[in-house]
Every structure is written in C-alpha cells, then in structure tokens.
Amino acid sequence: MAMKLLMKATVRSVTDVAESTRAYELAPAKRERFPSFEPGAHVTVQLPNSLKRQYSLCSDPRETCSYRIAVLCEEHGRGGSRFMHHHIRPGDTLYIRYPDNRFAIAGEALHHVLIAALHQSYAAFRPGELPFTGDIAALMAKTVAGAFRVGVQLAAPFLIFGLVFNISLGLLSRLMPQMQVFFVGLPLSILLGFVILLLVVGAMMGTFLSYFGDVLRDLGTM
C-alpha cells in the first residue's frame, strides 16, 4: 500500500546553484509526466539509506515533465542532505511521494500578490532594454477596459437611483405644480445617496479588490 503512494523518479541532472546547495532535476521513470502541483508544495524523498526528507518544489508548476528540488548540505544535520550531496548522481533512481502543500499561497492575500508583481515587473520591464510593445499594448488595453467595466459596476447603484429618482421628481412636479419639488428633492437625494452608499460599500470594495488582484496577477504572469 505504501509503495502505491511512491513514484519512481530518475535524477536527470545535478547542478550547483549556490554555496553548499545543489538543485536536483527529477524525471518520471514510469510515466510521461508527474502530477501537477501548486506553488508552495513539497515532495517527500525516500533515500536509498531509508531516510525520508521533504524538499520544496522549485520548478514551474505548469511544467510537470520534471520536478526540481534544491538541497542545502547540512554537515551537522541528521544525514539526509549529506547523503544527497555525496551519493546521489545523475542517472540514479529515487522514490518520491505525491506533492503535498502545507504552505499554499492564499489568492485573497493581495499583499503577497503585490510583492510578486513587483518582483516580476523587473523581468517584464528589464532595465536598459526596450519592452515588448505588443504585450504592453495588450495589457494596457485590457487594463483600461477592465477599469471602465469596474467603474460602471461601482457606479451602477447610484446611476440607477439617480435615474429613477429624477424621473419620479419630474412626474411629481407635473402632478403637483404648486409643490417645490426640487427644493425638497435635493436634500432627499443626498440623504438617500448616503443610505445607498452604506448598503453597497462592502460589495463595492469586494469588486474593486477582485479587479485589483486580477491586474496584479496579470502583471505577475507576464
């Protein structure tokens, strides 16, 4: 039963990426692709010396033809990282568990998305290089169209109220010419406008934050 939870993987390459840190690219040995995963996921590696160690996946979640993990060699650790550095070579076979994610990225946490968008902006707009005008034009057109759509959505309750309220005042002035309709209607429209604002301000903020998050995600995936 336990073996069914393990996947056989072949070490495709081993690369030194930093001091005492190596990246291991793992390719599926008995399948075409590994299962997909979300950012923040990790895999448990079953080492030949019976040790089990968990390593975060640092490859692109959309590229499931291989997994990539990075291992920092801890000379005074419990032996897992030392074994990886000293014994695991390209062509070796390892058994890994299906990806598990205990640190899933919360999509509603916009401050994380904002930081990622700022980071990705340096890749999208590289200093000293001319940006791709086609991608920028498409992004600008999408952003402007989305901003107009969100603006209409936010203003919709007040537009409908203003239309209905002013038509009602016009009919009332026809039916009761002696009444100072607009003298009464102006403060009444302000009061009802504030009431509507109190009722819909939560939905308005939710709509705006959803749009703002989409813009940041679009920038982060450029």
Q: What is the DSSP string of 147-168?
A: HHHHHHHHHHHHHHHHHHHHHH
d(CA 133, CA 122) in angstroms, rounded, equals 16
d(CA 151, CA 91) in angstroms, rounded, equals 57
* Nearest to 36, CA basis, from 1, 67, 2: 67
Residue holding tokens 């160690």? Answer: 53
Q: What is the pLDDT along the chain (222 residues), one digit of tens a residue?
A: 344 478 999 999 999 998 889 999 999 988 888 988 888 889 999 988 888 899 999 888 888 899 999 999 988 878 888 999 989 999 999 999 999 887 776 666 666 777 777 777 777 677 777 666 666 677 778 888 888 888 888 888 889 998 998 888 888 888 887 777 777 788 888 898 899 889 888 888 888 888 887 777 766 555
Strand-pairing partners, residue 57, are 69
Q: What is the pTM of this model?
A: 0.49
d(CA 36, CA 127) in angstroms, rounded, equals 34
Residue 222 confidence (pLDDT): 56
d(CA 105, CA 3) in angstroms, rounded, equals 29
Give all domains of the chain, ordered by start, each with its CATH number. Answer: 3-97 (2.40.30.10), 110-220 (no CATH)
Residue holding tokens 């402007």? Answer: 144
Residue 2 confidence (pLDDT): 44
Residue 169 confidence (pLDDT): 83
Strand-pairing partners, residue 23, are 15, 70
β pairing state of 21-28 and 6-18: antiparallel
